[in-house]
Amino acid sequence: MKLIELMNAYITFRQSLGAKFTTERYLLLSFCNAMGDVQVSEITSEQVLAYFKSSGPSKHWHRRYYALNVFFRYAISRGHLSTCPLPLTFPKRKDTFVPYIYSFDEVRLLLAGTKDVCSKTNCILETDTLRTILLLLWGTGLRLSEALNLTPADIDLDSDLIVVKDTKFFKTRLVPMDPRLTKVLSEYFTRQTGPKKANDQSTFFSTKLGNPISVDLMDRYFRSLCKQVGVVRTDTLNHYQPRLHDLRHTFAVSRIVFWYENGANVQRLLPHLSTYLGHRHLAHTQRYLTVTPEVLRQACNRFEKYALEVEYEKH
């Protein structure tokens, strides 16, 4: 079977399971273009290794390797290959990415700095809009794209509820809000005029001209905001500077700390957090749970309490 034919069948198969498969699709089709019009069974380990060496820095190997590994396993399961042509060795990762967890004081700095960032003459976002988006991301853990795609009809201000449609896995989920955040969104909506009130299908957040806000635009303004207020990474991973998506990680870690502080059964509640964040598997949520000093302290306190209780029962 031709490589491109099997690749298209595989991509269709993965998408039928509910995955958008955007990045992986791009990587796999790039591999097809590099291999040319060949049969799947004709691909050799030497060709695959040459592809990896010509496809950019070694740090990108791992993503490509993973995508191709799953594809070749699919090909073997369908009887088109007997062995996987991937190389047996590849460069080790130089470091493991660790998300940046914002402190409460840093979030306050970012919120206060929105005024200066948006006061520039060429800024197309209102201070009110940038500040409210940051509060929404911090208070709900929504993905940035989910927040920017919200319409007024998706936000039930009377029930403290957000309806997130067409998520990463083509699903719709309900996201409860803290009443204080609902109040912020309600006041923001009341202050807005123009297209958003006239048409519930327009986006809840928009530029000064009433246009939807892109993810790239928000990322650009956020980088400027971090630089202006001095929220920067100074550890050994300082080439990974704080991102908007790290507010989602911060939300997850903050929830764990809150549960520890209140004596909740964290292991039992983790599946609920996974559902809230819109993850299909608990493993996806666990990647968000960076072990911060506060999480470690709370976990140690919990273990110490447990150990003391066990010792007391012995006597």
Residues annotated as catalytic (active site), given as ranges: 143, 168, 245, 248, 279, 288
> In sequence order, what are the residues at sequence separation of 6 or more whose Cβ sits closer than 8 angstroms to the Cβ of residue 120?
none
Distances (CA, A) of 72 to 52, 53, 201: 15, 19, 43
**Which helix or strand (DSSP H or E) is residue 58 part of?**
none
Distances (CA, A) of 179 to 35, 172, 186, 208, 244: 55, 22, 10, 27, 23
Decide: helix, strand or coil at residue 1.
coil
d(CA 143, CA 255): 16
d(CA 59, CA 87): 16
d(CA 297, CA 227): 30
> In sequence order, what are the residues at sequence separation of 6 or more whose Cβ sits closer than 8 angstroms to the Cβ of residue 157?
182, 185, 186, 189
Length of the chain: 315
Find, among 154, 223, 220, the residue nearest to 185 by Cα: 154
Decide: helix, strand or coil at residue 314.
helix
Contact 233, 290 (CB under 8 A): no
- Other CB atoms within a 10 A radius of the CB of residue 87 amount to 16
206, β-bridge pairs: 212
164, β-bridge pairs: 173
